[in-house]
């Protein structure tokens, strides 16, 4: 069984060792042009050349939950299964990041940051308990569900929105575009965890940002193009939104000319909210490959028409 690895070459020996620990009978090799045909591919942001040469693959495993960098390739056979990572340690990391961002606004750290810059000493009253602070999670896949339920367990009132109906313990859910306005207008903070699809591009545009409760905060850890940045800046400058915590952007690295770098109401990080962990991701992929080899079904297969 030949495994072609098109991924981070840093610590390549660790990726290989983690995979072979669970699938020792395999031949694991970092891809080079001209390689012999592989049975399975493990990829992160693969090139078109990779798929042009590797034409006998049984399945492609993506080193992340977002698969837009794979399904954008038009030369993929329609029958080739594309498999995403299901958590593999990312959900807890994502929750930690989102919790940090939510607490930033819930505990008025944005206001205290302004006070420090302006040498102001003023204690701000805590007017809400966590239960009074409504957090909305847009995107209720595996990671979104985990984040929403962990926020609810922490004590926040949590609502969720997704394309289709979902039922989550402790979380009030909404589904479909007709329900989006009612969902947004109730929130003190909105967390974007949607995938990249044609339908989700700029889903938070000028009209929908205006539907958020005045003084709400925005946290984007999903995909950069979920958010229309000019509309966000307009909402921030008009004081309709109190702030934005951004980890993902339409163009990465974020260009040095972007006004997001210096906007006083924006906090940004370089796409680090959740990283792919070597051991759990390789264990998950190896186990799925073994199931496929045994003729058994696996979870995590992407629907290219939906984009996730």
pLDDT at 264: 97
Nearest to 28 by CA among 11, 36, 16, 41: 16
pLDDT at 66: 87
Tell me which residue has tokens 């049975």. 39
CA–CA gap between residue 52 and residue 216 (Å, rounded): 47
Q: Which domains are seen in the chain, by residue range?
A: 2-88+276-293 (3.40.50.720), 90-268 (3.40.50.720)
The reply to whether 73 belongs to the active site is no
Burial 81-99, CB ≥16 within 10 A → b, else e: bbbbbbbbbbbebbbebbb
pLDDT along the chain (308 residues), means of 10: 92 96 97 97 96 97 92 90 93 98 98 97 92 98 96 98 96 98 98 95 98 98 98 98 98 98 98 95 98 97 90
Name the catalytic one among 223, 263, 267, 291: 223
pLDDT at 51: 96
pTM over 0.75: yes
pLDDT at 88: 87
Judge if the upstream peptide bond of residue 285 is cis by omega within 30 degrees of 0.
no
The reply to whether 240 belongs to the active site is no
pLDDT at 65: 85
Name the catalytic one among 73, 172, 263, 271: 271
């Amino acid at each position: 069984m030949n495994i072609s690895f098109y991924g981070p070459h840093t610590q390549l020996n660790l990726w290989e060792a983690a995979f072979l620990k669970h699938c020792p009978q395999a031949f694991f090799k970092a891809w080079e042009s001209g390689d012999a045909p592989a049975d399975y591919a493990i990829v992160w942001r693969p090139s078109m050349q990779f798929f042009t040469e590797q034409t006998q693959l049984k399945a492609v495993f993506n080193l992340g939950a977002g698969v837009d960098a794979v399904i954008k390739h038009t030369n993929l056979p329609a029958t080739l299964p594309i498999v995403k990572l299901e958590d593999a340690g990312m959900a807890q990391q994502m929750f930690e990041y989102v919790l940090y961002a939510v607490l930033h606004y819930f505990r008025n750290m944005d206001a205290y940051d302004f006070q420090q810059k302006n040498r102001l000493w003023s204690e701000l009253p805590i007017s809400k308990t966590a239960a009074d602070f409504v957090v909305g999670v847009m995107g209720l896949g595996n990671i979104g569900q985990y984040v929403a339920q962990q926020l609810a367990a922490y004590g926040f009132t949590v609502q969720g929105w997704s394309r289709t109906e979902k039922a989550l313990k402790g979380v009030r859910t909404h589904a479909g575009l007709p329900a989006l306005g009612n969902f947004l207008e109730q929130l003190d903070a909105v967390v974007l965890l949607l995938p990249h699809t044609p339908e989700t591009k700029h889903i938070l545009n000028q009209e929908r940002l205006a539907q958020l409760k005045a003084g709400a905060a925005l946290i984007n850890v999903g995909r950069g193009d979920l958010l229309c940045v000019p509309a966000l800046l307009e909402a921030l400058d008009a004081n309709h939104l109190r702030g934005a915590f951004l980890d993902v952007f339409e163009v990465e690295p974020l260009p040095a000319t972007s006004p997001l770098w210096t906007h006083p109401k924006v906090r940004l990080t370089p796409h680090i909210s959740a990283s792919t962990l070597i051991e759990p991701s390789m264990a998950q992929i190896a186990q799925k490959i073994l199931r496929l080899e045994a003729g058994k079904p696996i979870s995590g297969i992407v629907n290219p028409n939906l984009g996730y």
